[in-house]
């Protein structure tokens, strides 16, 4: 596993946070919405970075499925932010998305469910995988 010192720097304005929390409430629950803030989003970025650097061959598929949720939170923030914040968040996530894309393989069988709150499904991480077990089985 690689260890990086990314130091993600971004600002979530009040209007961004209101829209993001509203979307989270529709997607998850009121509790998730009320407890989500800039530090939560920062943790999602760190989790996505860690996810990309993980040697998945030593981890169970269920752990992979759980941990990839951080990318959904990032996407939700991007889709529900003001233009300037959206640009900054896209800049921050792009290098890690590129690593995923470089290493991804298509699922043998698609494994995603449409979530109404998201605008552009399916996303690349829903129809592709970096987990080696998913690459080798016919029926997930």
Hey, which residues does 105 pair with through a beta bridge? 129
> pTM, whole model, 2 decimals?
0.87
Q: pLDDT digits over 67-103, tens only?
A: 999 999 999 999 999 999 999 999 999 999 999 999 9
pLDDT band, residue 48 (cuts 50/70/90): very high
* Domain range list for the chain: 14-104
Residue 51, pLDDT > 90, answer yes
| Banded model confidence at residue 138, pLDDT cuts 50, 70, 90 | very low
> What mean pLDDT, rounded, does the chain reach?
87
């Amino acid at each position: 596993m690689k260890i990086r010192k990314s130091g993600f720097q971004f600002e979530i304005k009040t209007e961004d946070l209101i829209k993001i929390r509203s979307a989270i409430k529709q997607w998850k629950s009121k509790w998730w919405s009320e407890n989500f803030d800039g530090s939560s989003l920062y943790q999602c970025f760190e989790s996505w970075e860690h996810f990309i650097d993980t040697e998945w061959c030593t981890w169970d598929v269920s752990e992979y499925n759980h941990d990839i949720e951080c990318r959904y939170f990032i996407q939700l923030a991007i889709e529900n932010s003001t233009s300037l914040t959206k640009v900054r968040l896209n800049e921050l996530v792009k290098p890690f998305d590129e690593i995923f894309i470089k290493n991804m393989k298509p699922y043998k069988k698609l494994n995603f469910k449409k979530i109404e709150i998201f605008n552009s499904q399916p996303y690349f991480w829903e129809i592709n995988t970096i987990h080696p077990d998913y690459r080798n089985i016919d029926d997930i």
